[in-house]
Structure 1
Amino acid sequence: MAESTPPSTTAPPPENPSPAIPESESPVKLAETETHVPKEEESPVPEEESRAKIESETTPEPPVSAPAVQVEEHTESQTITESEDTQIKEPKKSSFIQSAVSFKVESNLLSDLSDFERKSLEDFKTQLKQSLSDKTLLPKSSKSAASSALNTIESALKEEDEKNPDENDGEVSIWGIPLLKDDRTDVILLKFLRARDFRVNDAFSMLKNTLIWRENFGIDKLVDEDLGDALEKVVFMHGHDREGHPVCYNVYGEFQNKDLYTKTFSSEEKREKFLKWRIQFLEKSIRKLDFDAGGVNTIFQVNDLKNAPGPGKRDLRLATRQALHLLQDNYPEFVAKQVFINVPWWYLAFYTMMSPFMTQRTKSKFVFAGPSKTAETLFKYVSPEQVPIQYGGLSVDYCDCNPDFTVDDPATVLSLKTATKQFVEIICSEKCIIVWELRVVGWDVTYSAEFVPSAENSYIVVIQKSTKMTSSDDPVISGSFKVSEIGKIVLTVDNPTFKRKKLLYRYKVLPFSD
């Protein structure tokens, strides 16, 4: 039986597994230069031999016309040792995980389906229509498990039939979409078919069981319940990935808070409330998806395992197991990708043991990254301006952020090599105001900024004197400068360490008049 990838739970599963400015309109051009600092006893490599283009290292393009980007470096050593700072421990486990085939979300357009898939979909719809007509999709026995206060689907259908006898034929809805009488039905049915490898009878049984469970669980009323906000830091939605999927962050380390852990998992009643909250959060998120054939109808999951409780937490283990079963059985194919960050060694060991029991389809959605690779891994799938600031990005959701930038303003990512100076030059051809943001993930670098006029008799203006930046400093530097003559702004970042880092920056050109 095929295995669908469930949406992420809020606990680690220890037992289950501004627009670009055209060049013609912009008063600035951008140049980036990096210089590798040689040791005193070594001679620098000739400049003409060391120049190279690095456009391939920048993604996405900066918010102006395509810059002239060059590298000037003098290498003191060709051999860089990458230890735990650049990769997860247990290299055999991590290399095994990285070898999984990448998953690509399938198209829901009928024209993109194979003949077999189209026939399976039609057979599924025929079987569903017959079951709805015969009133056998939801047997009466399922009602006994529901609360007496809940209205059953059959009674709701009966009332609707009395109002519109010619328009309703035992219609049932799921995630706010009527089955068979809506153009979006195909997308939902394809999720169940794919979860069961297009075996129609198995997919129909899964759908039927899901509808019964939703009735018994009281999903439609649960969506509108007020369950509080105590867990809002545990699971939250923030931004979109590069393909437009909404991103859900699951922060397992929050359960290290003993009070929160006790209030959430210390009794069966509390675990049931947690489960209701998690299902409610997922239901609300799903109802915001686009179930049109070409729409985005899956969620990108990020699972932060930093300080996550280990496998010895029995209460957490019970809640996790129950949540995984419910999500896997009743929410098929809602995950675009499962990215695990800040992964501890024990979780990789657990995954290695469980991997043989997972389908290739499930494993292909998993990506793992250790603490030193968190930001780099996220940037592969999510633009840095969309990544929360606590995970190495530039996105903030509180009021004291830089008002000049939003998630709509793209950032550039550069690889800051070891023992290297990186220069970002903004060439200004007329009066304007330049504003910028810059950060180096992890810092431990020196930063400075200056304005260099083009006129020979003018003086260099120090905007920011050379300052050592550490991880305890503000994660993002914001700056601005009024340009009153032709010249360039030079941002300098010096990385004296033997750790490669990620440099992020973005800037805007604003009008300026005397």
Structure 2
Amino acid sequence: MSEAKTTDSSPLTKEPLTKATDSSMSTEEPQNALTAKFTSKEWDALKAFRDELPDMLVSAYEKSDAKTAAIKLWGVTIDPTNLLDARVSVVLMKFLRARNLSVSEAKAMFISTLRWRDEFNVEAACNEVFPEDVFGELGHIYGTDKEGRPVVYNVYGGNQDLKMVFGDVQRFLRWRVAFMEKSIELLDFENVDQMIQVHDYAGVSMTSRDANSKNAASEASSIFAGHYPELLHKKFFVNVPSYMTWIFWLFKPLIPSATLAKMSVVGSGASTIGKALLPEIDAKQLPKRYGGEAEAF
């Protein structure tokens, strides 16, 4: 699959200005296929959220020029002096949707995310060279679903030497964040703004998990829940051991319904997995090991 990056360009020249469908919007909004699906309530929340964005940047970066200095998030340039940008609207809407359109809660999440990205040094993680023999088989990006969303595979049994993978928890987290950022590069935030994830647990057993792997999983879950909102369309857990299925159902009542609707726990074997994935992904885009026809990893 080609992983060509899209380049930022101003929607003011790339896309025609059209009036937002919400009559309460007094300004013209640059539109794309994704903003065209915003509801009236979402436009109202976005406008209020956007009005506070310069102050949010000051809170996040604690410097005087933050109100006017452009930043880049997930490949999208956010210029606080010119926020009428369709791709920016799509990015900001993710924080609002993750917090049920609560502007105050979305604001807290956005500020927290910007601070975390600086503290974690996401850019450095993306430029780090990770050992192929340790991480090379743990993550794959292959094909798209029927709506053009990239499909991302996390293969937890891809390396059986867990001491090599999780011996340095912070290195694992840097790799995991860099892999997520690589996946996001395939989202244009014009037609596609979410991905499908397939988590493969083949070869993973209860005894194979140690304290480091548990800590890494816990920290990674916290990072993605707190700082990568609404980037997931669906998540499939495949080749899941029976004990993990039991744990999932145990915690099911604690999982938000909106999140639960995106998750499916699937059994083992290409035929079984294919029945779950083929309605979403064309057979030519799906690896054979998951019931498709593609000669992939």
> TM-score range, shorter-chain basis?
0.7 to 0.9
Corresponding residue for 1:277? 175
Asked whether 1:237 is paired with 2:141, we answer yes
Q: Which amino acid aligns with 2:40?
A: D
C-alpha contact 2:144 2:285 (8 A) present in aligned 1: yes
Q: Which amino acid aligns with 1:138?
A: Y
Deviation at 1:228, TM superposition (A): 2.9
Deviation at 1:397, TM superposition (A): 4.1
Compared CA separation, residues 110 and 251, structure 1 to 2 (3 A): closer
Deviation per residue, 1:315-349 (Å, 9 max, x gap): 21111001110111110011110011122221121
Corresponding residue for 2:95? 192
C-alpha contact 1:253 1:309 (8 A) present in aligned 2: no
CA distance in 1, matches of 2:136, 2:226: 25
TM-score, length-normalised on structure 1? 0.48
Gaps of 5+ in 1: 1-106, 141-153, 159-167, 399-514
Asked whether 1:228 is paired with 2:124, we answer no
Asked whether 1:351 is paired with 2:248, we answer yes
CA distance in 1, matches of 2:75, 2:275: 37
CA distance in 1, matches of 2:169, 2:225: 18
Deviation at 1:178, TM superposition (A): 2.0
C-alpha contact 2:60 2:112 (8 A) present in aligned 1: no
Corresponding residue for 2:21? none
TM-score, length-normalised on structure 2? 0.80
Q: Which amino acid aligns with 1:327?
A: F
Compared CA separation, residues 139 and 108, structure 1 to 2 (3 A): farther
As a proportion of its length, which structure holds more strand?
1
Query: Of the candidates 279, 293, 297, which is equivalent to residue 394 of structure 1?
Result: 293
Query: Of the candidates 169, 173, 190, which is equivalent to residue 72 of structure 2?
Result: 173
Aligned residues: 258
Q: Which amino acid aligns with 1:136?
A: S
Matches within 5 A, 1:102-141: 109-132=34-57, 135-139=58-62
Compared CA separation, residues 136 and 374, structure 1 to 2 (3 A): closer
Deviation at 1:108, TM superposition (A): 6.7
Corresponding residue for 1:365? 262
Deviation at 1:118, TM superposition (A): 1.0
Deviation per residue, 1:360-406 (Å, 9 max, x gap): 100000112211411222212111111112223221148xxxxxxxx
CA distance in 2, matches of 1:130, 1:320: 34
Deviation at 1:177, TM superposition (A): 1.6
C-alpha contact 1:245 1:298 (8 A) present in aligned 2: yes
C-alpha contact 2:138 2:156 (8 A) present in aligned 1: yes
Query: Of the candidates 200, 204, 225, which is equivalent to residue 304 of structure 1?
Result: 200
C-alpha contact 2:74 2:184 (8 A) present in aligned 1: yes
Q: Which amino acid aligns with 1:176?
A: G
Asked whether 1:205 is paired with 2:205, we answer no
Query: Of the candidates 150, 163, 185, which is equivalent to residue 246 of structure 1?
Result: 150
Corresponding residue for 2:122? 219
C-alpha contact 1:110 1:118 (8 A) present in aligned 2: no
Gaps of 5+ in 2: 1-31
CA distance in 1, matches of 2:231, 2:258: 13
The share of aligned pairs that are identical, in percent, is 29
Asked whether 1:324 is paired with 2:221, we answer yes
Deviation at 1:111, TM superposition (A): 4.1
C-alpha contact 1:252 1:309 (8 A) present in aligned 2: no
SS at match of 2:204: coil
As a proportion of its length, which structure holds more helix?
2
Asked whether 1:263 is paired with 2:164, we answer yes
The structure having more radius of gyration, on CA atoms, is 1
Query: Of the candidates 160, 184, 201, which is equivalent to residue 286 of structure 1?
Result: 184
Q: Which amino acid aligns with 2:106?
A: A
